[in-house]
Amino acid sequence: MAIEINQQQPPQEVGLSRIAVSETHGEDSPYFAGWKAYDENPYDESKNPSGVIQMGLAENQVSFDLVEKFLEQHCEASSWGNKISAFRENALFQDYHGLQSFRKAMASFMEQIRGGRANFDPDRVVLTAGATAANELLTFILADPGDALLVPTPYYPGFDRDLRWRTGVKIVPIHCDSSSNFQITPQALEDAYNNAESMNIKVRGVLITNPSNPLGLTIQRSVLENLLDFVTSKNIHLVSDEIYSGSVFSSSEFVSVAEILQARNYKDSERVHIVYSLSKDLGLPGFRVGTIYSYNDKVVTTARRMSSFTLISSETQHLLASMLSDREFTQNYIQTNRERLRKRYEMIIQGLRKAGIECLAGNAGLFCWMNLSPLLETPTREGELSLWNSILGEVKLNISPGLSCHCSEPGWFRVCFANMSEQTLEIALKRIQEFMGRRRSQHRETVFGNSSFFRALQNRKQKRKKKFSKIRRP
């Protein structure tokens, strides 16, 4: 007797919000695909020496030993000891303003990084769980769904998620290219603004990263001056993401928008907002510490109200307040970190040059902007993706292709150098050098060894040689 199987209809799919089903999270980018490839086959010197080396992560590990040394020497900063009352006070602390001691220490640290050329009021420091939260929170405050921010290209791939996904705000690119070292020109600004207007999109502000991610380059004072004039003339905002300000190889090479405002006696400052974080300069991404510093009272008030969704734990604030209040530690850390980053930058630049690869001249950050355009089979996005796949699959290096940063010129790649040991960086450079050697050999074979033209030419030479040898015989 046959057994009847009751085949149930698949359940009807339950609907989700527009945000949940939106593709604007940006995680279909090669930037995140490279991370996945690394996670599946991570390099390890002893356990997996042929694995993928992560060069797509902008993380600062070159000075982490200084942080560890401070904690070893100041145990009280990371523990409560016998001070039960202090533990109770911080465990029950819920003020959205954050610990006053930490906001004061953060403002002081931001001043130190800028060489004392700009002042910051602790009462204007709004704490957030990292720069990601700070940028999204500011976007919520400055723009409505459907409005736009102008962002110069190439830009950090995560902005597609941070600025757009949950806010519904659009990004309109300010196209910058190598002819101006990717600096923002007045014409590029006007073109981007006019492009948005032609699409009936309301522009609410310009967002920049200074120093630039992915370029590893500071923005010139004249460009900042022009940006301030531009946003004032259009009556829009300027957001300056300065999370790499302490990772400039020399303090004098960095100009903060805060310095420009101070020189202008804070005229039109209500439209300017600065984002900062301890994830890059201090190498503490796991602590999730970011700040918004705004010159606009309403923005400060609103940001503080909204920060309830993105608070930093009291214990983290307590530890970092102690660390950043130690002037001897901060001065030594800032100077040593700059020197180590410069040394690491020079190491990767020299290694790439040895392989025949040039980079944009940089002066900041945890990465370099590498030019592989001569290797492209075709000067297109497809050609760049093909080369990126070869480097990821064959060389086992995860680097970030320029197209994930919306670069308008194919062939540029962001390469991180501070998230690994010098030994691992040497191995990565050796892999690149060997890859370039193979590419040059393949190129010679394609041009000379495998071409039908070359074979025909060789045959003709051999025939002529035989012919002349017969004529010369006695």
**Alpha helices in 16-172, H assignment, sequence order:** 18-21, 30-40, 64-73, 75-78, 84-91, 100-113, 131-142, 159
Beta bridge partners of 284: none
Torsion angle of C-alpha atoms 356, 250, 122, 316, degrees rounded to 10: 60
Number of helices (H) and strands (E), helices first, in the chain?
17, 13
Q: Please tell me which residue in 280, 334, 348, 349 is annotated as part of the active site.
A: 280
Query: What does the alpha-carbon distance between residue 147 and residue 96 come to, in Å, rounded to a whole number?
Result: 28
* Residue 253 Cα distances to 54, 220, 368, angstroms: 29, 9, 17
Q: Please tell me which residue in 31, 156, 276, 293 is annotated as part of the active site.
A: 156
Query: What does the alpha-carbon distance between residue 411 and residue 403 come to, in Å, rounded to a whole number?
Result: 9
Q: Please tell me which residue in 243, 274, 349, 391 is annotated as part of the active site.
A: 243
Is 241 a catalytic site residue? yes
* Residue 120 Cα distances to 117, 155, 227, 275, 407, angstroms: 10, 27, 21, 13, 34
Query: What does the alpha-carbon distance between residue 473 and residue 11 come to, in Å, rounded to a whole number?
Result: 92
Is 156 a catalytic site residue? yes
Q: Please tell me which residue in 241, 244, 348, 349 is annotated as part of the active site.
A: 241
CB atoms within 10 A of CB 373: 18
Is 280 a catalytic site residue? yes
The answer to whether 49 touches 428, Cβ cutoff 8 Å, is no
Catalytic machinery residues: 156, 241, 243, 280
